[in-house]
Amino acid sequence: MTMGRSAWLIRLHGSKRTPSQTGEKVAIPDILRAQGDDGTPDSAVPADTASAGTAPEPTGAAPEPTAPAAIEEATGAAGTALPAPPSEDPEDPLTRVYTCLLARDPARPPAYSADLADELELPLSRVESAVSALLDMGLLRRTPERAVLPVAPDEAVQRTLGPLEREMRARRQHMERTREQLMAFMPLYESHLLRLTHLRQAEYVELLTDLRAVREAITELGRTCEREVMTAQPGGGRRAEVLEEAVARDEELLRRGVRMRVLYQHTARFSSGTCAYVERVGRLGAQVRTLDDEFMRMLVFDRSTAVIPVPDDPHAAVLVREPHVVAFMVGAYERLWLEALPFETEWDRQTIMDISDELKQTIVRLLTEGLTDAAIARRLGLSVRSCRRHVADVMAALGAESRFQAGYLLAQQEREQPGP
């Protein structure tokens, strides 16, 4: 019969009495052999042979577990020694000692280890080891006279696990306090993130709500521009005061060698002030083109900074410096530029007729989409009066007596046209 269970419990918990104290020579299992720092036995001679002078165990016997494996089996994740479950072997010393104590007549005096050794016919050392293990497990308790009495397992559970549960509660409370202390800094960190977000937004996107600030920003961007300015100004002819402010700034840019491209709508060709502006900047190398339909208003400087309007606020603007957004705006501008027609300052009848026809075709398309005269005028940069005159010309050409009939005839013409 092996002694592994009691031996490794002695190793973990320490025996209350050692063989040297009892004066007996006992066989020491392999797990308790003296070991060096490297974990190897100090002597190749079995410890039980060296101490008791007995023959070594047969080589075919099952080896005792190694110390690290026994410690890993007997300890939990935190390194706390855990009681070993009762062995199914009725000859197990722990089971025999506990059973013997339970079977004793309560009228008899409490038992000592020597009494149990006599009753169980076991060496005193083995009984002492079993008693020490059961004491550690809380299944035995000592009397003032150092005798031992059995303890109910549920009471042992309270004695053994109570300190662990208290420690766990204390650790959980410590964790909660630590969590509260750490999370108390979260508002500071969130404020830091918010401040960084605002800084990044200010770096890439800046809202200017004052018209004076908008003009100053555009002037500064023009002053520092080095390569190119792209301008898109929908809405027909521009006001005289706006053109007067722009022409001085734009001429200074052009004289510094900065490339300038300007997009207007076709209706801007019929504005004398816009034509005079185009003629002045055109002499210095600016390129101006026009489109029929509406497009987004923007200014782009050196393909790095854009100025766009704020909807429903004519006095505000947004400065955009985010590279991907600006690149998208530049790409949109380039597509518009390819579709636009050059702005000729000299009146050419055929050009005017072509543009007038293109405007009427756009009006026809917008009529079929159900837009009102005011919406069409706003989209094409026309006055409502001019728009209505063009609509009347379209209706007369179609022979329609109402806008509804004109829309029907236009849709019918589109269906009858052969496909490409």
| Residue-wise pLDDT tens digits, 169-212 | 999 999 999 999 999 999 999 998 888 877 777 778 888 999 99
308: pLDDT strictly greater than 90:
yes
Distances (CA, A) of 182 to 179, 188, 228: 5, 11, 53
pLDDT band (50, 70, 90) for residue 237: confident
Quick: pLDDT tens for 252-265. Answer: 999 999 999 999 98
Residues 340 and 220 reside in one and the same domain: yes
pLDDT tens profile 8-29: 333 333 434 434 344 444 343 3
Asked whether residue 186 is assigned to any structural domain, the reply reads no
If one counts the domains in the chain, the total is 3
Q: Are residues 237 and 302 in the same domain?
A: yes
Task: Mark which of 106, 128, 151 sits at the end of a domain.
Answer: 151
Residue 192 lies in a domain: no
**pLDDT computed for residue 350 by the predictor:** 64
Q: Of residues 67 and 139, which shows the higher confidence score?
A: 139
252 in the same domain as 387:
no
Is residue 173 domain-resident? no
- Stronger pLDDT, 82 or 213, i.e. the higher one: 213
Q: What is the mean pLDDT of the chain?
A: 76
23/11 same-domain check: yes
Q: Is the pLDDT score of 395 beyond 70?
A: yes
Question: In terms of domains, do 342 and 389 share one?
Answer: no
87 located within any domain = yes
Same domain, 416 and 329: no
Mean pLDDT score, 101-129: 89
Are 309 and 413 within one domain? no
Q: Higher pLDDT residue, 260 or 292?
A: 260
Please state whether 234 falls in left (phi above 0), alpha (psi between -120 and 50) or beta: beta
Q: Is residue 181 part of a domain?
A: no
Residues whose CB is less than 8 angstroms from the CB of residue 319 and which lie 6 or more positions away in sequence, other chains included: 205, 206, 207, 208, 217, 305, 306, 307
Band of the pLDDT at 84, cuts 50, 70, 90?
low
Whether residues 227 and 266 fall in one domain: yes
The average pLDDT across 292-308 equals: 92
CA distance readout (Å), 357 to 242, 363, 393, 402: 29, 10, 11, 21
Check whether residue 123 and residue 219 sit in a common domain: no
| CATH code of the domain containing 97 | 1.10.10.10
Q: Considering the domain boundaries, does residue 377 fall inside one?
A: yes
Token output for 363? 């009006």
- Do residues 234 and 297 share a domain? yes
Do 377 and 324 fall within a single domain? no
State the DSSP H helix or E strand holding residue 77, giving kind and residue range, or none if neither: none
Q: What is the CATH number of the domain that holds 244?
A: 3.30.870.10
pLDDT in tens, 338-392: 999 888 877 666 666 666 777 777 777 777 777 777 787 777 777 778 777 777 7
| 250 assigned to some structural domain | yes
Which residue range(s) make up the domain with 377?
347-420
Q: Tell me, yes or no, whether 170 lies in a domain.
A: no
Q: Of the candidates 346, 378, 399, which is a domain's last residue?
A: 346
Check if the beta carbon of residue 341 is closer than 8 Å to that of residue 355: yes
On whether both 280 and 368 belong to a single domain, the answer is: no
Nearest Cα to Cα of residue 290 among 344, 244, 221 = 344
- What crossing angle do the helices spanning 349-368 and 403-416 adopt, rounded to 10°? 100
Task: Out of 151, 166, 185, pick the residue that ends a domain.
Answer: 151
Instruction: Evaluate if residue 32 carries a pLDDT over 80.
Output: no
